[in-house]
Structure 1
């Protein structure tokens, strides 16, 4: 009997719990104690300190179903989403872990037994790969598991030596692959061309820590880290060759079809857009539920790119108005049982999505016709590139995202002339520097950024008000000094050394941006006010108040 994704989640946890593993909840998508990661991208992230011997747990065996993101940074699948049946930004990783308890033999035995006896995959459809020098793993697979030597492949470091990042825990690995049959294009061996033989489970034998110089140091205790994508496993078990045909996506794609009027599996370009939208809706829902909001930096910028890419693909299949926010509910309904945090944040997810769509719609209205015109001209001239100078004009005039222009070119077999784009960008910056004078003074980048946040009403954070999520957004500072000498206000931003920061400590020189203030800013021959801003965790002695731009008042002072 074909198993649902929820049955696979439950069965995986149950199998390992019965074998002494502690069931550990998924950690958030925002890494809690690892500044090297933009997002949680593997099940082992929350156990990194344990592998390094810096942390300890009350258990030596663990099992998880971990929510993961691979968009931005080294691990980035964003541009491939929609073009294949197996790439995703958000995905779930099944994993079992040993912290100095069992090692290769048990890990291999558990993996083989779960797939062949619990899930019921045919043994003759499975392949195994190992690191080229790992004779121990080869012996275990052949002599203990009874795998024929001709189904065991030795591979190089690129394919069978795993590491989380440039530094950190690492070691040789053994992968289990599944042959989908001759109906799927590709070679009939692992790591070949095409998708016929697909990796489904990676068993990592954590033996080393790699430092910034590339030096490998043995870990205090050899450990086990395994990872298996739920989406791929579901595809194999449910007898489909695309993850998007599993029950993880079918209800979401059905909702997209109803909203857009396009039937999935009917037309290739529309299918691609529907896959993009389905994947990005899942990523958006989980990111917002974990506290990420659209912005121009870091995690928020990745979320903004994901939402805007989905909005563009909506436009490609005929939806001109904001609509993604309506489709976040099917995601919550589909994923809310294993991840109840989605249900609690359902209204916030829809509100954040709608707000970002509405802000981006004018850019799409103005920019897409110009992009299409550039593509048509390039094809008519039989060029293989989009002119970088023309693309820059679109970017500079309308703020049309460069990554969306790159994708539009790709869809028509073109590439963007990035070198010409960068030249045009630098020339524009140089002109701006030279034009700075009495009438036109170039604002600092951080001020320009804040002006943009205020104009677009960008979200700052989410907090609970009367047990309901409320989104705080950037607003122009309201001057209330004519009516009040004292007033309550929300700190919207903290500037330190011309950079936005999350916090400041005693003695720091800062500039605060509030949503309302009684402090009169310098201007009209009047000196800016001085005074105190008191907060629950400290105060700022304001020595100068200035107006950086209309609606943007800066309170300069010292943290006390």
Structure 2
């Protein structure tokens, strides 16, 4: 057994199974494709569920992969132990109804003993308790000694998740020697100590579980194996845990260099080093696959990992932002297997840096508040004092503190918190958000219905034509498959061929009609089911349609052409943004409709008006150049060599469709496009805004949409000109400027008049002041005086009457404002304007505060100020020294 690097181990495994006629597939993205059941890919087989379930056809019945995985249930334990991590790679070989137990076990043993040269006397095999078939194969055909095989129960060696395919397992263990044993007399294979390490699990998926404990043999059993790459590297490199594996240790060394610390010198330091090392690996790969920090879903997982790593950097004494620097080392150690990391390196670093900066701005305030709360709890000497749910929620909601971080910090101080109340507040917030974005999907049930229909092929002809004869394959009404639909029925029609584009890649589905001699079905939308069927969703306008009918499928031509113009414009827009803003711009989402387009992209500040003008000009320049738009099919490797851009989280097949506008824009895209850029007509940006941290959104329109904008603008201009009684709208700017100047002059004159009136009123105010034990008290109400003017009046009072306390009230545009001032002699006698205004405002149910000499407050507009003046003398007496 020779020391072998992690990257070399990965290649050895994949090459070995390629030699056994397996198709090597690249790792699927961490973001699941067409699978809402998972937040992030967490196992080697997870991206291939449809192949195992027979819902889709794999590229080969034999497949091998090394899959990137994220598992987050044990985030809090990462760092505290050397076993736990959130990111790992799972190597596997898979058979979809091809080979079974004999080949799986033979090849596994061949790989570990002949390729890796692991000593046989260090290897153990486990099988399911009553899987005699596996025992015979291991002993009689593979040649493993019977005394090296251990039978374990269902909990350890039978794989199943609810209903569906399941079966017994066989695992291969490595004995690390008695020095790693827990020392118990019964320590053996299956013990949870560090001696026996399970590193390869072979799942024999041979039964179908109906959920009631009934197991039926599958006609075509499958093989699903999983071997943790880091765990295998630990064995091959003779190290105790994943943090000492070569590629992972190199990342940790970079962190140690930045922090000026060493590993294995302090347990506290070791915890922080492990947290940062693991989390920066996870976050680098997540961002590369299109995840961005947010407060929901996988974006929250990313934010949580980044912020936990950043905090542990501070615990190591690192004050500046540093995680983005470590990204370079993560990419350097993994670029051989994942070249996309290099392609997106600048983008990944920028996302990490922006999130670090954002966290740095909030963590100090949050930490200050949290420490203050904890100090108060400690000082209270209350037994079992706890952080309240409201306090924890405020830290999360106001300061961006993940609750896990709060829990970790208070745990260090020996404090618990009201988690139930916190979760209650979180659920209330989620409910509000859910109500705000409620999606009334009327065909959500269709996938379950269509999963049960017979498989049939169909042709999509929408790239070549907008009208075609077709046959009706299936009809669905009210969630059930039916033989016919009648006038007024809302339904779904499946055809054997269709020109209708089904919603995909941000482009909405086509609308139109399905017509026969005896009926017309109005198509409102077209969507894909989970099984890949094109669902024509609509209502029976007239007549009847029956299963098997010959019909004509007709796409709404004007609507489709408008969509095509907008889709090609999206491609031109992305290319223009990359030229104006930089190569870090990548698509984060899009929506292509007939009347507008929406494009979300990675960028870390608002796009300036000048930048928007440049982008708009570049797009229109390409439109006016009348460039032919090409669409070609080619292999994914050819497409990448051609420089075609792809979506982060999209999974592409071996053959892809590439849409090009010369070399200006080349993208992988399955949408529909115009044939020449001139057909777009014109392009106009409507708005630019933020939709999430590091994600901007541009909305725009093309063709007739631009004409609509021009008509709307002209109408607005004409209405404004008419309102100003102008014969020529071109005079509007000059007239508006003149009116603005006149209004400013009027405001100035009015201000001067108000000052004179205030001075007059002020003289009377001084004379009518009452004496409260040596303090002069005055109060008055102004009407139509701005709050700023109250401040000027208050300043004059303080200058002329240092012994005075004055309460001034102003009603401006119907809203009351209070001003309290105290002269310097009054302050010496214990007066404080801020405290006075607070008490006075409270009488009316208002609020206020400020400095000792000057303070502002507010009260309800229907409360009479006279009542405040009446209460003020007793408040002053209570405050006087």
**Residue in structure 1 matched with residue 67 of structure 2 by the alignment:** 66
**Residue in structure 2 matched with residue 79 of structure 1 by the alignment:** 76
- Contact conserved, 2:387 with 2:415, CA < 8 A, in 1? no
**Residue in structure 2 matched with residue 182 of structure 1 by the alignment:** 178
Counterpart CA distance in 2 for 1:127 and 1:233 is 15
**Does residue 104 of structure 1 match 2:136?**
no
Counterpart CA distance in 2 for 1:323 and 1:537 is 50
**Does residue 129 of structure 1 match 2:112?**
no
**2:155 counterpart (155, 158, 166):** 158
Deviation at 1:104, TM superposition (A): 1.0
- Contact conserved, 1:51 with 1:219, CA < 8 A, in 2? no
**Residue in structure 2 matched with residue 359 of structure 1 by the alignment:** 358
Moved more, 15-24 or 153-162: 153-162
**Residue in structure 2 matched with residue 515 of structure 1 by the alignment:** 688
**Does residue 47 of structure 1 match 2:162?**
no
* Structure with larger Rg: 2
Deviation at 1:383, TM superposition (A): 6.3
SS in 2 for 1:469: coil
Deviations, residues 30-86 of structure 1 (Å, cap 9, x unaligned):
122322121122222232222112222342212111111112xxxx33222212223
Counterpart CA distance in 1 for 2:384 and 2:238 is 39
**Residue in structure 2 matched with residue 16 of structure 1 by the alignment:** 17
**Residue in structure 2 matched with residue 6 of structure 1 by the alignment:** 7
Deviation at 1:229, TM superposition (A): 0.6
- Contact conserved, 2:293 with 2:303, CA < 8 A, in 1? yes
Deviation at 1:167, TM superposition (A): 5.6
- Contact conserved, 1:167 with 1:214, CA < 8 A, in 2? no
**Does residue 472 of structure 1 match 2:602?**
yes
| CA 1:414–1:184: 2 relative to 1, 3 Å | farther
SS in 2 for 1:224: strand
Give unpaired runs (5+ residues) of structure 2: 438-572, 586-600, 620-685, 691-698, 710-881
Counterpart CA distance in 2 for 1:412 and 1:185 is 34
Counterpart CA distance in 2 for 1:123 and 1:377 is 62
Deviations, residues 287-329 of structure 1 (Å, cap 9, x unaligned):
1111111112221111111111111111211123321111111
SS in 2 for 1:325: helix
Moved more, 210-219 or 387-396: 210-219
Residues 161-310 of structure 1: pairs in structure 2 closer than 5 A: 161-163=158-160, 169-186=165-182, 188-209=187-208, 218-310=217-309
Counterpart CA distance in 2 for 1:5 and 1:268 is 26
- Contact conserved, 2:125 with 2:149, CA < 8 A, in 1? yes
Deviation at 1:423, TM superposition (A): 6.3
Counterpart CA distance in 2 for 1:443 and 1:205 is 43
**Residue in structure 2 matched with residue 547 of structure 1 by the alignment:** none
Deviation at 1:535, TM superposition (A): 6.2
Counterpart CA distance in 1 for 2:433 and 2:61 is 55
**Does residue 119 of structure 1 match 2:116?**
yes
Give unpaired runs (5+ residues) of structure 1: 434-441, 448-461, 490-512, 518-531, 543-560
Counterpart CA distance in 2 for 1:178 and 1:358 is 45
Counterpart CA distance in 2 for 1:379 and 1:190 is 48
SS in 2 for 1:286: helix
SS in 2 for 1:121: coil
Counterpart CA distance in 1 for 2:250 and 2:574 is 31
Moved more, 365-374 or 135-144: 365-374
| CA 1:141–1:444: 2 relative to 1, 3 Å | closer
Moved more, 85-94 or 277-286: 85-94
SS in 1 for 2:60: coil
Moved more, 471-480 or 309-318: 471-480
| Count of paired positions | 472
- Contact conserved, 1:478 with 1:516, CA < 8 A, in 2? no
**Does residue 329 of structure 1 match 2:328?**
yes
Deviation at 1:196, TM superposition (A): 2.4
Moved more, 149-158 or 204-213: 204-213
Deviation at 1:216, TM superposition (A): 5.5
Deviation at 1:211, TM superposition (A): 6.7
| CA 1:217–1:87: 2 relative to 1, 3 Å | farther
| CA 1:358–1:133: 2 relative to 1, 3 Å | same
SS in 2 for 1:468: coil
Deviation at 1:391, TM superposition (A): 3.5
SS in 2 for 1:305: helix
- Contact conserved, 2:359 with 2:400, CA < 8 A, in 1? no
Moved more, 339-348 or 80-89: 80-89
* TM-score (normalised: structure 2): 0.48
**Residue in structure 2 matched with residue 25 of structure 1 by the alignment:** 26
Counterpart CA distance in 1 for 2:363 and 2:339 is 34
- Contact conserved, 2:190 with 2:196, CA < 8 A, in 1? yes
Counterpart CA distance in 2 for 1:267 and 1:425 is 37
| CA 1:132–1:44: 2 relative to 1, 3 Å | same
Deviation at 1:130, TM superposition (A): 2.0
Deviation at 1:143, TM superposition (A): 3.1
Query: What do you get for the CA RMSD once the two structures are aligned?
Result: 3.9
SS in 2 for 1:248: helix
* TM-score (normalised: structure 1): 0.74
- Contact conserved, 1:477 with 1:514, CA < 8 A, in 2? no
- Contact conserved, 2:387 with 2:416, CA < 8 A, in 1? no
- Contact conserved, 1:488 with 1:516, CA < 8 A, in 2? no
- Contact conserved, 1:475 with 1:515, CA < 8 A, in 2? no
| CA 1:384–1:140: 2 relative to 1, 3 Å | farther
SS in 1 for 2:226: strand
Moved more, 334-343 or 213-222: 213-222
